Amino acid sequence: ASADIGVYGLGVMGANLARNLARHGHSVAVFNRTLARTERLISRHGSEGDFVPSARLEDFVASLRRPRVAIIMVQAGAGTEAAINQLRELLEPGDIIVDAGNTFYKDTQRREASLREQGIHFVGTGVSGGEEGALEGPAIMPGGTAESYERLGPMLESISAQVDGEPCCTHVGPDGAGHFVKMVHNGIEYADMQLIAEAYALLRDVAGLSVAEIAEVFGSWRHGELESYLIDVTAEVLARVDPATGEPFVDVVLDAAGQKGTGAWTTQTALELGVAVPAIAEATFARAVSSSTALRAAVRAADLDPGTTAVAVEDRDAFVESVRLALYGSKIAAYAQGFDEIATASADNGWEIDLGAMARIWRDGCIIRARFLDDIMTAYAQDPSLVSLLTAPALSAALQSALPAWREVVATAARSGVAAPAFASSLAYVDQLRAPRLPAALIQGQRDFFGSHTYHRVDDPEGVYHVLWAQAGRPEEKWD
């Protein structure tokens, strides 16, 4: 038994993680259900480090030094479940199974509890950065026990992205905390992508910019407050011309966005927790709308609003700047929502997640890496008990300067008939939280009227009241 760590599942992500580990001086056992993949990894990349290939799972396990660490990187769902069940037969108390796929955190909690009975540590780990990140340095979000992190953490920290010598990897918290945080990372990723897509739609369909011009606009945003990997990706995608037709690439791609489920999980979980994440929810719904082919065709054919046209934009440059501000404001709101979801789940589950550390490990390697994460990190450093990112000094100042333009952009979008659901709902989120009074009081009245659901009074917030709506004079009574 000589290998420091093993990787089970050698698809692109697994193979790249194994190579990254080997390149950092770790001896890596590798196993794949079909041997050809293992052989291909060794023949192509065997010289990059110390690999210990096995054709049989028993040999893979036997090649690991104790306590054994095996990372599973197979297809999420049934594939992961099967791999865990095979491994647990062969492992011993003290050994560590790591699931590095995008797994729903409740599955991770269930598996962690079950493996714990056997004395095996189960570490659900978020890994972000796609194929390239897995090889060159991803952001890594491990959950599980602190004890397992002592053995596993240094290896993961050595292969993660680094910012100023600090690894983009930290122990997130116990059981499903790592997968939870990765789920919310993806939810924020969905929101960020949708917001960027709405900015593109506004620049194109309201301001009339060409795709090439929009590519340049995003190129210029690379260097400001919006500096981020997703803005880089956007500029690259928009600049591509389809070689077959000479058309912008974005015009030859079918406008139906796919999804593998993490945005939906983030939204569903927020609903369960009672946390508002409208930007993430709108982003997920927008993908669903885009893929509703028959629905779109039917409504399009009904020609509901033939009158809507693009409004003349007097000053294009000013509009472009307004869209930039609206995008930045919306982005702050979306991140505030995601961090609120993490904070709420952390309190509910007793995870004690360090929110500033999440911002720190997302600064590089992952898909949502952005300059703006420095501000979030600073915000939590200045005030670890910060209730919302909206109120952090640097971010609230940014929001204040974005709001006038943001309102204009949302209004212009509505007048032009160009959908900007994530811009609009992010603005509504801020406006709801700012409001001294919400119309929720009316909803309480309605609930009390038709269902005796009771209400609290502003002059007695603890007391439970009900109006006898059906009685003459409609008297109010206080319930015990």
3-state secondary structure at position 210: coil
**Euclidean distance between CA atoms 56 and 47, whole angstroms:** 22
Angle at 356 between CA 352 and CA 358, to 5 degrees: 80
Q: Which is nearer to ligand 6PG, 103 or 109 (CB)?
A: 103
Tokens of 222: 């690379």
Q: How far is the CB of 15 from ligand 6PG (least distance, A)?
A: 16
**Euclidean distance between CA atoms 458 and 456, whole angstroms:** 7
173 labelled binding-site residue: no
- Is residue 262 involved in binding ligand 6PG (CB under 6 A)? yes
Q: Which residues are catalytic?
A: 182, 189
Count interface residues toward ligand 6PG (CB under 6 A).
Answer: 12
Q: Which is nearer to ligand 6PG, 38 or 284 (CB)?
A: 284
130 labelled binding-site residue: yes
Q: Which one of 66, 260, 453, 474 is in contact with ligand 6PG (CB under 6 A)?
A: 260
Site for ligand 6PG in 129-168 (CB under 6 A): 129-130
Stretch of 160-168, 253-261, 319-327, 395-403 contacting ligand 6PG, by CB under 6 A: 253-261
Q: How far is the CB of 178 from ligand 6PG (least distance, A)?
A: 13
- 436 backbone dihedrals φ, ψ, rounded to 5°: -65, -35
371: exposed, middle or buried (Cβ count in 10 Å: 0-12, 13-18, 19+): middle
Asked if 121 contacts 147 with a C-beta cutoff of 8 angstroms, the reply is: yes
- Is residue 338 involved in binding ligand 6PG (CB under 6 A)? no
**Euclidean distance between CA atoms 7 and 1, whole angstroms:** 15
- Is residue 461 involved in binding ligand 6PG (CB under 6 A)? no
Site for ligand 6PG in 6-45 (CB under 6 A): none
> Given strand 476-479, what is the order of strands in its sheet?
455-457, 460-467, 476-479
Tell which residue, 6, 117, 99, has the closest CA to residue 52. Answer: 6
Asked if 5 contacts 71 with a C-beta cutoff of 8 angstroms, the reply is: yes
**Euclidean distance between CA atoms 352 and 355, whole angstroms:** 9
Q: Which is nearer to ligand 6PG, 284 or 426 (CB)?
A: 284
Q: Which is nearer to ligand 6PG, 365 or 421 (CB)?
A: 365
Start-to-end C-alpha separation, the chain:
68
Stretch of 19-27, 254-262, 305-313, 445-453 contacting ligand 6PG, by CB under 6 A: 254-262
- Is residue 268 involved in binding ligand 6PG (CB under 6 A)? no
- Is residue 52 involved in binding ligand 6PG (CB under 6 A)? no
Asked if 249 contacts 243 with a C-beta cutoff of 8 angstroms, the reply is: no
Q: Which helix (H) or strand (E) holds 294?
A: helix 293-301
**Euclidean distance between CA atoms 98 and 8, whole angstroms:** 10
x/- contact string, 189-228, with ligand 6PG (CB under 6 A)? x---------------------------------------
**Euclidean distance between CA atoms 268 and 274, whole angstroms:** 10
Tokens of 15: 């193979």
Asked if 127 contacts 138 with a C-beta cutoff of 8 angstroms, the reply is: yes
Q: Which is nearer to ligand 6PG, 29 or 127 (CB)?
A: 127
Q: Which is nearer to ligand 6PG, 243 or 258 (CB)?
A: 258
Stretch of 115-123, 127-135, 228-236, 270-278 contacting ligand 6PG, by CB under 6 A: 127-135
9 labelled binding-site residue: yes
Asked if 365 contacts 138 with a C-beta cutoff of 8 angstroms, the reply is: yes
377 labelled binding-site residue: no
- Is residue 128 involved in binding ligand 6PG (CB under 6 A)? yes
Pairing, β 96-99 against β 121-128: parallel
Q: Which is nearer to ligand 6PG, 12 or 435 (CB)?
A: 12
186 labelled binding-site residue: yes
Residue 341 exposure: Cα atoms within 13 Å on the Cβ side = 30
- Is residue 102 involved in binding ligand 6PG (CB under 6 A)? yes
Tokens of 36: 């050809």
- Is residue 367 involved in binding ligand 6PG (CB under 6 A)? yes
13 labelled binding-site residue: yes
- 162 backbone dihedrals φ, ψ, rounded to 5°: -130, 140
128 labelled binding-site residue: yes
- Is residue 412 involved in binding ligand 6PG (CB under 6 A)? no
Binding positions for substrate are 102, 128-130, 185-186, 190, 260, 287, 447, 453
Residues contributing to the site for ligand 6PG (CB under 6 A) = 102, 128-130, 186, 189, 258-260, 262, 366-367
Binding positions for NADP(+) are 9-14, 32-34, 74-76, 102
Binding positions are 9-14, 32-34, 74-76, 102, 128-130, 185-186, 190, 260, 287, 447, 453
